[in-house]
Amino acid sequence: MAIDVSSVKELRERTGAGMMECKKALTEAGGDMEAAIKRLRETGAVKAAARAHRQTREGAVVSYIHTGGKLGALVEVNCETDFVARTDDFLAFCKNLAMHVAATNPRVIERSELRPEDLAEERAIYEKQAEGSGKPAAVVEKIVAGKLDKYMAEVSLLEQPFVKDQNRSVADVLNEVRAKTGENIVIRRFVRFCIGE
């Protein structure tokens, strides 16, 4: 079932949950707004959104070095209290996130951080690829928009399928940890190192 953008926007306004969480909840609920809200409440996305304004001044910087020492990553994840920063759930999430960054090499945390000039460059590549297809301009534009959307999802950390569970995104796992800890948790930054890159 195709979910229209206005429904996703309405659900986001009503719950404060992220766009991807809203779209997923609506899809799972077959387009039923109330069922989608219930689904978001069950997963903790609504509570996480309500906590999003709270400051995160504690946290951890965690590393992952792959076997052989040729690939590694550092992540900084912030939370509200030092108590949560020391919990097993929080530290395990940070370690798994560092492993995820090392494995998938995301460029940004969320798609809004992508530079317009990089997106324009990608769009130009996709337009050139679609040029010789002989399809109408409207169809070509939809193809280009679809490829650009896919590209943004592939390079945005929060939208990537989580390496330890491909059925959930990094944002889903983050919201689960937020729900467990009862705190706002923010992925602040990351860096990936690879010998020869």
Do 133 and 146 share a structural domain? yes
What's the domain count of the chain? 3
Q: How far apart are CA 139 and CA 144, in angstroms?
A: 9
* Residue 24 three-state SS: helix
Do 166 and 103 share a structural domain? yes
Contacts of 71 (CB under 8 A, 6+ apart): 65, 102, 192, 193, 194, 195
pLDDT of 29: 87
Do 124 and 103 share a structural domain? no
Say which residue, 134 or 156, is predicted with more confidence.
Answer: 156
Whether residue 48 has pLDDT greater than 60: no
Say which residue, 97 or 112, is predicted with more confidence.
Answer: 97
Domain containing residue 16: 5-51
pLDDT of 65: 96
